[in-house]
Structure 1
């Protein structure tokens, strides 16, 4: 199944892409590709229009905020104003944390998007098993900025629900493993997730965005990483863990 066919048939994925398009976080080739579908996809046009109607009033309440030095450094690095630091000196997980510092500069709009997205899933997708009163949320995307999974966390019941909205092709000898990436220290495994559908996992104490700003999924050997100290496979999708 092509990506376009998936968007046509998967209402949840269509809503997530429309939300990111309306918010402006869908960039580059992914944005141009979606725009090329609009002429003959009435459902997608309607979804984008609805999201624009929802999000535009929010701008009236947004107060000006000076970007942090981390944001400016990230922008400078992205457009090549400064020579990139030697990546060989950095671990892959440190790079993830540095990427996160840029995106968290957009925290107000990201949290607003996450809040409205949860509302849509609760009202339009009754089959999606999400907590009654989710406290935390993350939209996990791949390298092409395609939404792969929605993660919601319920601090009261110590549970998190992972809804995969774009089915993943995973070999029989591989597993997808979810990790909490703390501000400092090694990533912590939260458990295995399915290549499709919904999985509920226990949410350990201390899993709030204050201490765990990022969630990531890696492709591991069957049954999960054999290394007790962290992942062994590549990161396949990731996203900021936010309060709502």
Structure 2
């Protein structure tokens, strides 16, 4: 196999690749939702501004930590792996150090808790949370199964690929696997967030901290409407009245 093929294959099989792709996807999501992000960041409540900054810091730390020291695909598959009844079904190839994994789990739990509070504040309450939970769970099941199958295909294909064209062909499966992997990670994190959001919403309601936020999304519309209405002179209806003539 050529040096170029070796380099491509090493990139495809690197555990950090999924983490880097996930960071880029999160950055793109923030960029596309910049107005909403600004409203969350500049919330009039000091408590919620602090919560937004804590969530952002935890989220960034989690993305960097897992991308460098852990494996996202192993991490989201951990509950499924541990639920297997037989020891041979719980075997992990190239496992992550348990100490590093514990830090990853702690960071993810803290991030999801902060995100759950922000969801309760800025997005919606119990009904929307339950609906999102059901939807994310339904999405998670099929893409997780497909992702597991593609993982096996990638490993087997990497062992059998010896030429550059074969490695390039394997790259197409890797791109598909990475896309499904990101969706699996997103659905898993969303499911966890919604589970925590139900608890967080109840606690915030009991403490009286989940007051409705004041949005400014429609300010431009109403400002323009007020400006246009001010350009028209109010004319009494009586001046527009005309007698109705009875037809002959």
Instruction: State the TM-score, normalized to the length of structure 1.
Output: 0.28
**Bigger proportion of residues as helix:** 2
**Bigger proportion of residues as strand:** 1
Q: Which structure is larger by alpha-carbon Rg, 1 or 2?
A: 2
Instruction: State the TM-score, normalized to the length of structure 2.
Output: 0.28
